[in-house]
Structure 1
Amino acid sequence: MLTHLGVLVECDPSVKAIILKYDEEKHDYIVEDLDDDRHLVIKESQLQNLKERLGQELDQKVMQPEESESE
């Protein structure tokens, strides 16, 4: 019996590492880790939540004062 519908996600290895860390907490996101650097099957019901959580995390990392683009 199929318990979770999944979506194949391709991402950078660094993003995959973040998702794996999130999933350690409650196993809310990953249906299957495809054992390569870039692919996961994510629970379809959690995809939007994961995108929002990743967006917040990546925004915080990108907005560092020492990484100013002014010349």
Structure 2
Amino acid sequence: MPRALRGVLVQCDESIKTIIVKIDSERNDFIIEDLDDETLVIKSEKLPELKRRLNEVLKDAVRNPEDNLDI
């Protein structure tokens, strides 16, 4: 019998959700369910790690905004 997963409902902007989905795509280790454009269910035990990784991505984007432009 499969084990039930404990999840946390996360609502965010579409841009943040896109980043979370990209982070999850590396190992499929965070998202339980993708509900809509702004809502995900995340594994509760993985939430602290996901927050840390999301903050790293956002810091890099803010630190070097010129590097992120497609010109």
Provide the identity percentage: 51
Deviations 1:8-27 (A, max 9, x none): 00111011011111111211
Aligned to 1:7: 8
SS at 2:26 equivalent: helix
RMSD (Å), alpha carbons: 1.5
Alignment TM-score, normalising by the size of structure 2: 0.81
Higher Cα Rg, which structure: 1
- Per the normalisation by structure 1, the TM-score is 0.81
Hey, what's the Cα distance between the residues in 2 that align with 1:58 and 1:42? Answer: 19
Tell me, in whole angstroms, the C-alpha distance in 2 between the residues paired with 1:32 and 1:42. Answer: 7
Indicate yes or no: 2:43 matched with 1:62.
Answer: no
Deviates more, 1:48-57 or 1:1-10: 1-10
* Aligned partner letter, 2:26: E
For 1:1-71, what aligned pairs fall within 5 Å after superposition? Answer: 2-34=3-35, 36-64=36-64
**Which structure 2 residue ranges, 5 or more long, are not aligned?**
67-71
User: How many residues are paired up?
Assistant: 65
After the TM superposition, which segments of 4 or more aligned residues of structure 1 sit over 6 Å from their partners? none
